[in-house]
Amino acid sequence: MKENLVNIGSVLTAFLASVCCIGPIVLAALGLGGVGLATGLEAYRPYFLTATVIFLAAGFYFTYRKREVVCADGSCEVRGAGKWSKISLWFVTVLVIFFVAFPYINWSSDQAVAGGLSSTELRSITVSIEGMTCESCNVAVETAVKKLDGVQQVTANFQSGSAQVRFDPQKVKPAQITGAIDGLGYKSKLHLREK
């Protein structure tokens, strides 16, 4: 029973440590905005990671320690945890590693200009974005902006806090692009210089 509670605690705290990065992607994929809450949890990530390590350490302790079992005839036998407890602990450990590593995985992809327009008919803008903290933020921004009709290419970069957007000005306006980004909970600002 203790092993199960520790495993649940490990997964929960690892998920909370990564919700700032997983949340925007999930909400953007569902077409929902307002992920400011999820990105606001970034400041608590070290605490969640510490709790995750403590839960995992307790899980390994409770699973691999040897316990004495008193039998009916009074003899003692030393036993460890069962096979399924060990399997579930290692499954949880792999899941925790995924959640902890999630913000550092590069999910963004560069796409070539698509559609029937020549590159001279398209315009490019740079949008500065406040609040992006990891690769998952890049994906959330790119997903939301690509949903706009007329957007051909989006490349977001959390490190520079900006996004490069290539679009058809006949179909989409720069204000719609910044609106899509702001709808995710970030603060965006269009650079005055358009290309």
Domain ranges of the chain: 2-104, 123-190
Q: Is the dihedral of CA 147, 153, 157, 161 positive or negative?
A: negative
Structure tokens at 27: 């909400």
CATH architecture of 123-190: 2-Layer Sandwich (3.30)
How far, in Å, CA of 163 to CA of 190, rounded?
10
pTM as predicted: 0.51
Closest CA to 2 of 109, 81, 113: 81
Query: What tens digit of pLDDT does each residue of 103-162 get?
Result: 666 554 444 444 444 555 888 899 998 888 887 888 888 888 998 999 999 999 888 989
Query: What tens digit of pLDDT does each residue of 48-97 get?
Result: 788 888 888 888 888 788 776 667 676 666 666 678 778 888 888 888 88
Residues 6+ apart with CB under 8 A from 40: 20
Structure tokens at 18: 């990564």
Burial of 164 (0-12, 13-18, 19+ CB in 10 A): middle
